[in-house]
Amino acid sequence: MHQDALLFMLGSWTVVGLAAFYCFYRLMTSSRRLDD
Amino acid sequence: MAKERWATRLGLVLAMAGNAVGLGNFLRFPAQVAANGGGAFMIPYIVALLVMGLPLIWVEWAMGRFGGQHGHHSAPGIMQSMGRQKFWKYFGVFGLWTNLMVAAYYLYIESWCFIYAFYSYLGGFIHEAPGDFFERMLGAEKYSIWAISYWGMGAFFVCIALNIWILSRGLARGIEVVAKIGMPLLIGFAIILAVRGLFITQGKFEFQLTEEKVKELQTEGVSPRVLDRLAELRGQSLTLAELREKLGGALPEVKADADRQFNLVTKATVVAGTDRHAERDAIEGLNYVWKPQYDKLWSPSLWLAAAGQIFFTLSIGLGSIHCYASYLREMDDITLTGSAAAWTNEFCEVILGGTILIPIAVAYMGMAGVEKAGFGMAFTSLPTLFNHWGAFAPFAGFLWFGLLFFAAITSSLAMGQPIMAFFQDEFGLSRPRSALLFGMLLLPLAGAVAVTHSSTFFEEFDFWAGTFALVVFAFGEAILFAWVFGMNRGWTEMMKGAELRVPGIFFYILKYVTPIFLGLILVGSVFQPKGTVPDKNPETGEVRKDPQTGEMLTKDLGWEAYVQALVKGETLPAWEWHPGGMIGMLLHKDLDAALERSLKDPQTDKAKAIQFNREQKIVRYVDRAMMVAVYVFFCVLVGIAWRKRREKVWVG
């Protein structure tokens, strides 16, 4: 795979993945439960 | 009447994410990235997400929660409660109108996914080409304005009935349950397909044919000429394209039997562990999607395309987010919950959406085959490609169309809820009655979509409601929130109960950047020019010519042509409306361009094509009248509802 393409793909995946993970981590550790 | 609420916070996040995750995530996004600069597309995409997408998501959630506290769960009431002037409730009608118009054709596509999922599972596409099945399902015929397929329409109405039934069960027992089942299944299906797809390895063929294998091929009926050619290839290692080229001279002799014989040869010579149908490795598809074209980064078309994609993928400007958020309590968090839903959508789009369609298509069809990748390919090509997966093929088709169906239904339910909420709030109707009324309003529009050629009702609803109206509504709500309701009040409203501290810079982004950004998109799409310029060879600077006719070739660059001319100090290109722009669509430039293309084809029946073009324009006047009538109808209902409210206050 082209190096630049790999860089952009993994970079975009990392930004999106980390942001989604952070939001769900915060939701799960919030004082209001997810199943409430 | 007891106030409806979401049962759980997870249910709300999944319902909101389900609203945003739609067909566009899997069909539109990869095609947009590949066509607009590859990896470089992600720079304006992320910028648009930060300066327009996320701020508008928070605005819509805040507006919805605010309206809900004042007893309104649909856009007219929500906007009126913030704007006070009469104008805003009529502007808020966009939040009903757009949903109804989009639902009329979106549910049609949903029904296609439903049919395709089951037809794939039953192995239907092993025996029938998906393109033929697609035509049969639509009932479309060349030069006919009508497209009637009774079973296709039947499935469409089953989908409408299913949506109405789910909506009638309410938020917690209907929409939330579907989101909790549909979203995990959708993500699971997508992961299975992406992983399986990425393991496709380019077919390799080696020619160490034993006597036994040659005899086997002989008994199967492979022609002596082909066998001779195979003997010449002994010891060589070839790819699929090379094999096709090498056998090119021998195969035409067997004509009708060529495909079967080629198939037998590939089976006998394929290297274990490679896919004998694959032109390339699927990973090359990722390369195709993501390879950055840095020169495109300064093109205004690229920035417009990225902003447009953010817009559609997050379901901004529909009025459905307002509606869902209106069922929150005053101090419920919106910043963290809204962000979680938005980033879940981004996960489904950027990670999953870009990893299925194009890599599989590139693997089996090569680069040339995916140039027109997108909507049609999902229905007309992909099932054939799944057939290369042997026994897994029916299941793969079921997974693909199943995931599209779940993506579609979680979005279509979000289109019905605001309309139902309007009838419940303003006319006191019960949930089942308002669900039925939504169905009754939908039927004539959906019926028109189902029986006519896609260039009329279907495309027009998609353009005017599904594209143009979203930008108009979002621009209006950005102005309302930041400048009419007031940014200070708006910010305080947004931060009530917030579990995620939004950085202060977003205060200024919301006040200045988002409205300007949206205004530019609006102006850009209303006055979109064709921007036709000569197609020059970048190295020599010479204008390219058609090898057959010798005519000078041109290309349409849109706004980019004018920016380039201004920067270089060259003469501006002649002004012509773009067929896909608002004014271009209004003047039927798209139909005229299609007619021009078809008249160039020697096989076209010219008289019929011209007559068809005329009929398309007539039907478009009818569908436009229908769209205006529906908007006026909702305005009248809003007027009546508010008069009733005033009378109630006086009597009370």
Q: What is the pLDDT of residues B303-357, one digit of tens each?
A: 888 988 998 899 999 999 999 999 999 999 999 999 999 999 999 999 999 999 9
Rg (CA), chain B: 27
Tell me what the mean pLDDT of segment B571-583 comes to.
Answer: 93
Per the CB < 8 Å rule, is A35 touching B8? yes
User: Which residues from B are below 8 Å from A15, CB to CB?
Assistant: 46
Q: What is the pLDDT of residues B154-191, one digit of tens each?
A: 999 999 999 999 999 999 999 999 999 999 999 999 99
Q: What is the pLDDT of residues B255-308, one digit of tens each?
A: 678 888 889 999 999 999 999 999 999 999 999 889 998 988 888 888 888 988
DSSP 8-state symbol, B147: B
Of B647, B474, B645, nearest to B71 (Cα)?
A: B645
Say which of A8, A26, A27 has its CB closest to residue B290.
Answer: A8
Helix axes B335-346, B54-69, angle to 10 degrees: 140
Phi, psi of B438 (to 5 degrees): -60, -45
A12, A21, A32: best to mutate for the B interface, most B CBs within 10 A: A12
Is some CB atom of chain B closer than 8 A to the CB atom of A16? yes
- Tell me the one-letter amino acid at B641: A
Is some CB atom of chain B closer than 8 A to the CB atom of A28? no
Token digits for B133? 């099945």
| CB neighbours of residue B582 within 10 Å | 21
Helix axes B357-369, B23-35, angle to 10 degrees: 40
Which of A6-10, B7-11, B119-123, B371-375 has the weakest average pLDDT? B371-375
pLDDT grade for B374, boundaries at 50, 70 and 90:
low
Tell me what the mean pLDDT of segment B427-441 comes to.
Answer: 97
DSSP string, B59-88: HHHHHHHHHHHTT--SHHHHHHHHH-SHHH
User: Which residues from A are below 8 Å from B13, CB to CB?
Assistant: 27, 34
Of B339, B350, B329, nearest to B60 (Cα)?
A: B339
Is some CB atom of chain B closer than 8 A to the CB atom of A25? no
Per the CB < 8 Å rule, is B286 touching A20? no
Of B307, B338, B285, nearest to B43 (Cα)?
A: B307
For chain A, counts of helices (H) and of strands (E): 1, 0
In angstroms, the CA B299 to CA B563 distance is 8
Residues with Cβ within 8 Å of B174's Cβ and at least 6 positions away in sequence, in order, are B166, B167, B168, B413
Per the CB < 8 Å rule, is A5 touching B38? yes
Of B20, B72, B98, nearest to B462 (Cα)?
A: B98
Q: Is residue B69 within 8 Å of B330, Cβ to Cβ?
A: yes
Per the CB < 8 Å rule, is B291 touching A5? yes
Per the CB < 8 Å rule, is B340 touching A27? yes
The residue with greater pLDDT, B58 or B211, is B58
> Which bin fits B537, alpha (ψ -120 to 50), beta or left (φ > 0)?
beta
User: Which residues from A are below 8 Å from B343, CB to CB?
Assistant: 16, 19-20, 23
User: Which residues from A are below 8 Å from B500, CB to CB?
Assistant: 23, 26
Cα–chain-centroid distance for residue B644? Answer: 40
In angstroms, the CA B559 to CA B553 distance is 19
* pLDDT score of B413 more than 80: yes
Q: How many CA atoms lie within 13 A of B521 on its CB side?
A: 29
Residue of B nearest to A29 (CA): B499
Cα–chain-centroid distance for residue A16? Answer: 5
Please give the sequence-ordered ranges of beta strands (E in DSSP) within B89-160, or none if there are none.
none
What's the length of chain B?
652
Q: How far is B242 from chain A (nearest CA, A)?
A: 21
In angstroms, the CA B226 to CA B253 distance is 9
User: Which residues from B are below 8 Å from A2, CB to CB?
Assistant: 287, 290-291
Question: Which pLDDT value is given to residue B120?
Answer: 97
Say which of A6, A23, A32 has its CB closest to residue B339.
Answer: A23
ipTM of the complex: 0.97
User: Which residues from A are below 8 Å from B286, CB to CB?
Assistant: 1, 5, 9
Token digits for B193? 């397909």
pTM: 0.95
C-alpha distances in angstroms, B566 versus B118, B560, B571? 54, 10, 8
